[in-house]
Amino acid sequence: MATSLDTPLHLGVRPWSHLVPLALGEVGAPPLDLRVARLAVTPHLLDERDLDAGETSFSRYTLARAAGDDRLVGIPAFVMRGFRHRCILVRKDSPAADAADLAGARIGLTGWPDSGNTWTRAVLRRAGVDLTGVQWMVGPLTPEAAGGDRMGGMAPPPWVRLAEPGESLVGGLLDGTLDAIMTPFMPPGFHRDDTPLRPLYRDYRAAEVRYGEEVGFIPGIHLIAVKRERVEARPELLADLMTALRASQQAWWASYRKHADTTPWALAEIDDTERRYGADWMPYGLAANRSMINAFCAELHAQGIAEAPIDPDVLFPEYTKIATETGVE
């Protein structure tokens, strides 16, 4: 019978460029036999019999661990992270230009407890907007995207309604029933000159730079988790997996800097990013992400998604233990 050491660990992730070296086998994960599946959507790990580990929602993982559900064991490797000011859209003729302008507005968003939308609502809270005074609608970005559980199993708060059949965020913005929408992905045609929509922040980059300087981090949205049975069989795999993910990220960044031809000004973007954040703008590990993790836990409670305050220490106890034993941060 195969042992936990020579049994492949099947990891499912979305096709992030910083994981390509790992997926192609250009960096290894010894002594793990790691098999990487590149997926079109974020997997629901507990429902995926063919996966042992993978990318998962930061909010869903946090809420589960806070509730005592430890079937997934996370490591602080945030494989998806990003600023969210760019994710707030309005009509081109809207007078709104800042999050503060959305106080009391009608806002649609694609999911309620989602990690990204939690961070986007945090932008509004930071601007002094009372979230309970906003008229929220949760629904699909477009009619074609209808379906799925957009409340994460929660009952909608009194100030939140679910979209009716046929309603969509883009449709509501265009017909005037919504003042703004929040979406992680831009709707079809958004980048054309004739689009009727625009970002709330006309210079969202400047707004995001200010936010990053103020909070000191780039928000984490998805992390890597492993099914508990694999961790119990060999706890050291958490450290081995973190080492492999770091190696992939470092190999990707070095290659990206050397072959910066994906867009005409990619090199300028790389230079600007390194000036602001150093060579590692998406750091892994507990120490580098402590303030971000703390802030996210606080937001989940402040926004009413978590009924009680969440102790950040409940999220990564297994990784904390093995990192201390192995010296892997």
Which of 244, 90, 103, 102 lies closest to 180, judged by CA?
90
For the stretch 262-279, pLDDT in tens is 889 999 999 999 999 988
Where among 159, 185, 215 does a domain terminate?
215
**Which domain range does residue 256 map to?**
9-82+218-326
pLDDT at 41: 94
pLDDT at 3: 43
176 and 96 inside one domain? yes
110 and 203 inside one domain? yes
Q: Are 152 and 60 in contact (CB under 8 A)?
A: yes
CATH assignment of the domain containing 191: 3.40.190.10
pLDDT at 28: 84
| Intra-chain end-to-end CA distance of the chain, in Å | 33
Which backbone phi and psi does 17 adopt, to 5 degrees? -65, -30
Q: Are 177 and 106 in contact (CB under 8 A)?
A: yes
Residue 245, strand partner residues = none
pTM recorded for the entire structure: 0.95
Q: Are 272 and 63 in contact (CB under 8 A)?
A: no
pLDDT at 2: 39
The residue ranges of the chain whose pLDDT is under 70 are: 1-6
255 and 176 inside one domain? no
205 and 111 inside one domain? yes
Strands 72-81 and 53-57: unpaired
54 and 90 inside one domain? no
For the stretch 87-139, pLDDT in tens is 999 999 999 999 999 999 999 999 999 999 999 999 999 999 999 999 999 99
63 and 148 inside one domain? no
* Distance (Å, whole) CA 244 – CA 30: 8
Per DSSP, the three-state class of 80 is strand
* Distance (Å, whole) CA 227 – CA 312: 20
DSSP string, 141-157: SSGGG--S-SSTTPPPP
Q: Please name the helix (run of DSSP H) or strand (run of DSSP E) that holds residue 73, with its range, or none.
A: strand 72-81
Q: Are 106 and 178 in contact (CB under 8 A)?
A: yes
Residue with tokens 């003042």: 179
18 and 132 inside one domain? no
Residue 181, strand partner residues = 89, 108
